[in-house]
Amino acid sequence: MSEDFSGIYAGEFEEVAENIRLEAMDEAQELVNSLDLLLGEVRHDPDQMPEFATKARHTSLILKKQAGTVGLRLIGTIAHRMENYLSSIKELPPRAVDDMQIFIDYLTDTLEGRISLDSDVSTIVRKLPAQVSFSEDDIEVRNIEVMLVMLHGTASHFVERELKQCGYRVHVVTTVFEAFPLIVRTKPDFIIISAVMPELYGIDLAVGLSAMPSTRNIPLALITSLDADDEQLQFLPKSTPIIQKGASFGDDLFKALDDLFLI
């Protein structure tokens, strides 16, 4: 399906929408080019890395917003990954300069047409750098995509750390509404969802994903502090692993991964 506005708007409205889309792409290209130039300066002066990180986060947010408005799904997904890479760590590792260059190159190649906007998003995201919290000598990053749908906080940091220790590529999404389209596009190998989320419960997301033909074969698990007999959990498919917060968390997580042949 082509990423344009054909069939969405009619006549002159379609032309206006396409012009808006092209203007957004031009603006996005200027932002990415500016970021690329600053990264080149960082290579010669590492003290500029904090300034670069701030600008990269800002650029990611703008690109995500633009992409959502004009339908540039691939651009938005790459920007989301770049934002996640930067937000999940306090201090950028030595490899960050090369990693950020990869993000910038993918954005540039897409905006300039060398990568089609219709490319398989799930393939592209697996080629992007994975943020790791440990020395590359200590852990081997595996080509297994895990999406963690949880609010930022102590619990999510703990879960993310445990998954990264297993070598997984972990992507954190903090709202159900943001997670749903990303799941459809990127097709993660495993999804861990917090049962209680703002606006729409993670339980609803799990039930919906399990029912849809395009996502029902993606393994998922639910993290919760609800009692096992809580009526809300009865809507889940019986095969959905439940990871209980508390003393049994580590064992429950290991069992879920083992049952799904991910370890």
| Residue 160 and residue 84 in one domain | no
92 plus 192 within the same structural domain: no
Does residue 130 register a pLDDT over 60? yes
In a domain, 126, yes or no: no
Residue 97 and residue 22 share a domain:
yes
The rounded radius of gyration (Å) of the Cα atoms in the chain is 20
CA distance 203 to 170: 20
Mean predicted lDDT score pLDDT of the chain: 86
What is the number of other CB atoms lying within 10 angstroms of the CB of residue 35?
23
The predicted pLDDT at position 139 comes to: 63
81 and 164 together in one domain: no
Domain for residue 227, yes or no?
A: yes
Question: Is residue 129 domain-resident?
Answer: no
Q: Which domain-ending residue is among 64, 85, 120?
A: 120
The pLDDT, as a whole number, for residue 1 is: 46
| Any domain includes 6 | no
Domain span including residue 203: 145-259
Name the residue with higher pLDDT: 239 or 124. Answer: 124
Question: Tens of pLDDT along 4-58?
Answer: 555 555 556 777 778 888 898 999 999 999 999 999 999 999 999 989 999 999 9
Q: What is the CATH number of the domain that holds 81?
A: 1.20.120.160
Full-model pTM: 0.82
Mean pLDDT of 167-174: 89
Residue 241 vs residue 142, higher pLDDT: 241
Q: Is the dihedral of CA 116, 95, 250, 193 positive or negative?
A: negative
Do 37 and 75 fall into the same domain?
yes
Three-state SS annotation for 13-55: HHHHHHHHHHHHHHHHHHHHHHHHHHHHHHHHCHHHHHHHHHH
Q: Do 34 and 95 belong to one domain?
A: yes
- 210 and 106 belong to one structural domain: no
95 and 153 share a domain?
A: no
Give one word for 208, left, alpha or beta, with left for phi > 0 and alpha for psi -120 to 50. alpha
Average pLDDT of 58-76? 90
Could you tell me if residue 151 is inside a domain? yes
Instruction: Count CB-CB contacts under 10 A for residue 47.
Output: 7
Q: Is residue 251 part of a domain?
A: yes
- Residue 106 shares a structural domain with residue 187: no
Whose structure tokens read 């379609």? 14
Q: Closest by alpha carbon to 78, among 125, 30, 113?
A: 125
Read off the CATH number of the domain in which 170 is found. Answer: 3.40.50.2300
Q: Is there a domain that residue 98 lies in? A: yes
Give the residue from 105, 120, 135 where a domain finishes: 120
The total of structural domains in the chain comes to: 2
Asked if residue 151 and residue 116 are part of one domain, the reply reads no
- What percent of the chain is modeled with pLDDT above 90? 49
Write out pLDDT tens, residues 198-230.
888 999 999 999 999 999 999 999 998 888 778
Distance, CA of 185 to CA of 206 (rounded, Å): 16
Both 36 and 107 in one domain: the answer is yes
**Which one of 120, 137, 165 terminates a domain?**
120
How many angstroms separate the Cα of 118 from the Cα of each of 6, 50, 61, 72, 124? Answer: 14, 34, 22, 9, 11
**Residue 132, pLDDT score:** 62
- Domain match, 79 and 25 both: yes
Domain assignment present for 128: no
